[in-house]
Amino acid sequence: ISVREKEILLLLVKGDTSHEIAANLFISHNTVKSHIKHIYEKLHVSTRVQLFSLLSNINEKKN
């Protein structure tokens, strides 16, 4: 994933909403939604729950 997508992913994991992410990064809400869509596509998930589950599984495998 791109550097910007990683930034957004970290903010999602932190618990920020799409609107909060847009405000924090000084980008539009639609841009955030587009980045999230690309993250989902690249990681083969379709919801935040699936995304967090995937990240949790990856984290467990690292430890």
pLDDT confidence of residue 29: 98
pLDDT confidence of residue 57: 85
**Residue 27: φ, ψ to 5°:** -130, 165
The domain segmentation of the chain, as residue ranges, is 3-62
Q: Which CATH class is domain 3-62?
A: mainly alpha
Burial class for 32, CB neighbours closer than 10 Å (0-12, 13-18, 19+): buried
pLDDT confidence of residue 63: 66
pLDDT confidence of residue 21: 98
Burial class for 21, CB neighbours closer than 10 Å (0-12, 13-18, 19+): buried
pLDDT confidence of residue 37: 97
State yes or no: pLDDT of 10 exceeds 70: yes
Q: Express each pLDDT in 15-62 by its tens digit.
A: 999 999 999 999 999 999 999 999 999 999 999 999 989 988 887 787
